[in-house]
A and B are shown apart, each in its own frame.
Chain A
Amino acid sequence: MKADPKGVLTGVHFIDGDHAACEGALAAGCRFVAGYPITPSTEIVERFAARIPKVGGVFIQMEDELAASIAIQGGVWAGHKVMNVTSGPGLSLMMEHLGYACMTETPSVWVDVQRGGPSTGLPTLPAQADMMQIKWGSHGDYEIIALSPNSPQECFDLMIKAFNLSEEYRCPVFLMMDEVVGHMTERVEIPAADQIEVTERKWTKKKPKDYKAYETTPEDLVPEMIKAGDGYRVHVTGLTHDERGYPKMDVPTQAQLVTRLLDKIRKNADKLVDVRMDGCEGADVIVVSFGITSRVATAAIETARAQGLKVGHLRLIICWPFPVKLIQDLAKTVKAFVVPELNMGQMVLEVRKAVEGKVKVISVPHPGGTVHEPETILEQIVEAAR
């Protein structure tokens, strides 16, 4: 279906990534946010609070991130599309509710404007060091989807994609921004509402007596959804549950449920690959990057190419699920991968895991606080090409 024009601020704007992300959410149909301020994500909820009274919807500032990350889920079960906005320390507090959203299959978009950590770290400075936390930070086995924008325009575009994927897969979808992308001001073009495709919730057409909250088929692992108040008398729990949604704590039920929660993402991993490839064919070295680091990497790659090196650039738009098969295919033809990131080596582990030692994988870590110098990445490209 097309976007509701009330939320779409069609036109050309000169805004930062935080503001663009908020507009993306409004365009995607988000009308309910329960937020808690934290640098450098605060501008997203500030803009939402200012815009929503005229668009039609609700913003409430909660008492903490624990409350915000569960209040939005209440909003989902009332029928809303919702967004959860935070940064490092807030994200740490929200981990239990990330698991709840995975377990109860509550579609929701989680925005993490990453800053330097651990702990309070560098509140006003960038990092990309939460990439593993979102994947592994809540207890138990689960799968999420994560997107990584490198510009305000992409904050808008990928926010809409994040909402659409969360509805399609009924899972939390992360928009992994960082302080630089969040506070960088650039041209953002917002199309007309009828140019924006939004995914409707997977509402059931069944009657209450025929409906089971978590019933799926082998062909479609995503259950149909209802909202409170429509007579379905649904039960939702974070406990291991059967297809009726009732708690059932035994080994077969656990196996069936957890396997399905993982498979609904894992079995669609190929479909979920979203990368930008530049000059990867015939390259000796491929730089794997994401988010703000991809822009620094581009500068390094151009210099390397000017020196005659055959360097490709693989930019991850969707970081989770990680494009394992794609990396494995590329590993057949390249000498080495170079992986710059604003952390001390997180996504590089996924590249190493995929290539299984077949080619060299060089990490270009950074503790955060600023972006890499292009020369630092260039040095490693030159080293890799030897």
Chain B
Amino acid sequence: MARHKAILIAALLLALPALGAEGEEYLPFLFAAFAVTWVAFFAYAFFITRKQADLKQEIETLRAMQGEDDDA
């Protein structure tokens, strides 16, 4: 995750000189549009994968508890 963020930031920094001076006053809008999009996607992907891991563990715990009850 951190590596992806670093790649994205590096790409943006590398690209800034290539953009030229034309319309430079709009740079914050461009930066904000890309930043908001990527932060939202990384946050959503993080939320999904984290919750998947939590639920997997909970399902395994419940299975084990049911198995113990069946044995008893």
Q: Do these two chains interact?
A: no
